[in-house]
A and B are shown apart, each in its own frame.
Chain A
Amino acid sequence: MTQDLGSTIPTRANWAEEAVTTAAAQEAQNPHAGAEHLTREEQVLARIAKARSRKAKIKEERVTLSHGAGGKATQTLIEAVFLDAFRNPVLEQLEDGAQLAMAWADGGTGRLAFTTDSYVVSPLFFPGGDIGDLAVNGTVNDLAMCGARPLYLSCGFILEEGFPVADLQRIVASMAAAAAAAGVQIVTGDTKVVERGKADGCYITTAGVGVLERPVVLSAAAAKPGDVVLVSGPIGDHGITVMLARGELDISADIVSDTAPLHEITAGLLDAAGEGVRLLRDATRGGVATICNEVAVASQVAVVLDEAALPVRPVVNGASELLGIDPLYVACEGRLVAVVAPEQADAALAALHAHPLGDGAAAIGTIKDDPPGLVLLRTAFGGTRIVDLLVGDPLPRIC
């Protein structure tokens, strides 16, 4: 039969053999101490936990799309490339924005929040918004998540040769409107034009400065067992809207992006729940699941979510079912996740409900002490599962 196969002697996948050897060598270096009392399965799981806590290392030779998707690959890229080179105590926090203690020459002090973000959305215009208001709201929200009052933005444009000026004007007009709505001024900027084919129409980078007027220090590492996890409204609207707007799926649905500035709703939340607010995150790329994983790892706690309590619009649920993706990983551009001390949870939820952007707010889970670093989900069906970080973009399943 073998001569029928007509093929050459099989080659070997060298990268795979190397990966196996490396892992075995690492394993041999630090054998798991005190593992004798564990069952074999538990030993394997302990080994995995250890492998996961190892220093991030980029294995790919080139950047792939996964590195931009907000999941594990993005984290690895940030930690292994950027953090490694730029390392300093502020950056190491890896929060949505840097929180900076300032001391002026005249003796005054204060705290600033500083952040930057780039926008490359395709299509540039989608139901409920466009790249312009996204670029303003996204940076405003990163400042708001630090607990800051956003003040000033910069903007950098990278334009492709041939890009219609009318489209640019439309984008800039919606940036101006979004800035006015968020109470910020765009005070500096830059423009570059690249040859046709070297960019996809229009990319925008914004940076923002805000002032921290409240004494709160918000951090992904601040969650404590017993805390309550809140979300400010239905999740996944933006991601699903953009996916459908690309027109590749031949699905149409009555849905618009949730892009919105969150500085007012966070101010209301911080006024109502004060120091009970441990952390705020806007659930952008990677969705609510990714944020919960960041919290679980940074705070070394378990985040336990309740699927039945997750606010998800039926159309988002339906589109996700069709595409085989999980709304927990789908991006929002105007929703925040808050972790709040149990005593202030009711007040915090009431404060979210009091704002028009928060009328769909809900308590979606709690913080537990064990198993640290994991996000668990009580499924609506009554089972349990792990909600892990995705490696890259959520890829549709085949059947």
Chain B
Amino acid sequence: MNEPWWIDLIKAVILINLLLGMFAYMTWVERKLLGRMQLRYGPNRAGPFGLLQPIADLVKLIRKESFYPATAVDFLYITAPIVSTFTALLAFAVIPWGEGWHIAGYDISGEIADVPISLILIFALGALGVYGFIVGGWASDSKYALLGSMRTCAQLVSYEVALALSVLGVVLMAGSLSLTQIIDEQQHTIWYVIPQFVGFVVFLAAGTAETNRPPFDLPEADTELVAGYHTEYSGMRFGLFSMAEYVNMIVLSSLCVTLFLGGWLGPWPPLGPLWFLLKVLILIGFFIWLRATLPRLRYDQLMAFGWKVLLPVATLNALVTAALVVAFS
């Protein structure tokens, strides 16, 4: 492999900008789609079809006075959104989005870092990202923010277990924790969504809860909690939290595509990134559709669903997969 470090650097810079651009336009797509699903127009004032709306929002957030409670703990209050955004963006580094190319004597791989434990790394980064939410809520010194962060914490910890167990079937079938190898295996056999359909459904449900998306958006249930852990945040600090949430959603969709839907596989491999993007966009559209369709769960329903439905189903799926893998190998 002839791939000097500066190629990785260029890839990282391009990818981070793509992710942030995608985040900005995801808010537009979401508002537009939600509007259409609810027989409204959605944003349509800034530019044609409201296309400049994300940019207007960004300018507004940056120019806003950064206002915070006098009793907030300064250092932690400022660090919390940075931690969340950083871990969310970093997780994308190990997700493969292409087959790799050979240009002018240089090899360009289809991911920034190919580590043998990339799947665990993504989960570890997700576990660290939770701290941004809980520390931010605590450091705000506000009862709504604290309650919101407590809920976030309880929900994320509960659903992380089901999420991790739901991918165990894929790991068992591929025999690897490396995302590139999991895609290789799918290229030679079959997309894992077919043999691992149960795991796929559990992953989608737990993933929706992991990213605080409706109908699992209890951490920011505005009727009870004002806005949850980011109640006391304004300006670009709020923007960072929002960015972390949307980037998490992109990362989770990408992980789902990688594990279950064949990643960048599709007709004519050099177009890999395009297939990858298409699949991710379909999944994101699905998440938005869910938001427009389902009402928010009650808190006890959420916990009961996580521990009494998703977790046993995911465990059973892993056990059955393990037995079958041993039987047929």
Physical interaction between A and B: no
* Chain A residues with a Cβ under 8 A of chain B: none
* Chain B residues with a Cβ under 8 A of chain A: none
